[in-house]
Amino acid sequence: MMKISFFAAADSEVAAAAATLGPAFTIRSTTLPLDARIAGDYADSEVVSTFVGCELGKAVLVQFPRLRLIAVRATGYDNVDLDYCRAHGIVVSTVPAYGDATVAEHAFALLLALSRHLVACVEATRRGEFGFVPARGFELRDKMLGVVGTGRIGRRAIEMAHGFGMRVIAFDAVPSPELKETPSFRYASLPEVLAAADIVTLHVPATPETTGLIGDREFGLMKPGAVLINTARGQVVDTPALIRALSSGRLGGAGLDVLPREPLLRQEDALFKAKTAEAATVLGDIVADHALTSHPNVLVTPHNAYNTVEAFRRIMDTTLDNIRAFASGTPANRVA
């Protein structure tokens, strides 16, 4: 029997796994995210299935001597030490497509909330201030949307933008030939996109090339008062540069579903338990993240763009298919 451990898993997900995989698999689970402190309790696992907030660096992986498969219940795998996995014959599988509509819709939810000051208005009426009048908002129609990254989510964002009557300009390191034929849309360089857009929305993966992709120079290229939406990864944006752009008024607002130090924001005491040389730098990053969450022109959601019934169903269906495919000797959705 293959031993599987699910981390950061809801009871409904575990029940679905047990019903689908059957008696050939022994399943254990916890609602806690995987990290070095609890990894040893599951050391005999042959398969681990992880979600947002789980740690899969060497310090965790060395505690799984029998590990053969990491079934990531997400698209991104930047939290996995792929070098360690390659050296130890561990297969990594992901869910390549589950939330294109879900995440793109969340990006527009952030944009609409910013454009009409919805949070401030709702908070005012809850205080009984029905006469509250916020700063004037703006329409999306005829605005230029700059889409950075035209994969599945970026493409869906382009479709939605056209539904709002927006114009679209986009950047991608590898432009799609089919998208080039889309009406009311064109590719351009990143500087051109930033300079032309009223709103910039980010849909790129976390890679060495995209880390710090949007920094002081890029904010300097943007229109005064432009809006930034980030539902991609926190490290794509230089947080101190973002704060400077907001404080100077260069940037009119930001809608963020991701921040660079999310794991520590969820469990900040971990910073003080880890005696590392970079503790001061990490602490500075956390302070910057807190500055964003309290900034009046910023809306931050807790990495929640994926969170719909439909997306979770697709995540679990694909994850369980990945586990069965691996058990049968034909791994699916494998990370190269």
Residues labelled catalytic: 233, 262, 303
- The pairing of strands 47-50 and 69-72 is parallel
Q: How many CB atoms within 10 Å of residue 68?
A: 16
Which residue intervals of the chain are DSSP H helices?
11-21, 58-61, 82-87, 100-115, 118-126, 152-163, 190-196, 216-221, 239-248, 262-266, 269-273, 279-293, 309-327
As given in the structure block, the two tokens for residue 35 are: 């990290």
**Would you say 303 and 52 are in contact if contact means Cβ atoms under 8 Å apart?**
yes
Tracing tokens 């910073």 back to the chain, one arrives at: 271
State phi, psi for 306 to the nearest 5 degrees.
-80, -10
Contact 117, 138 (CB under 8 A): no
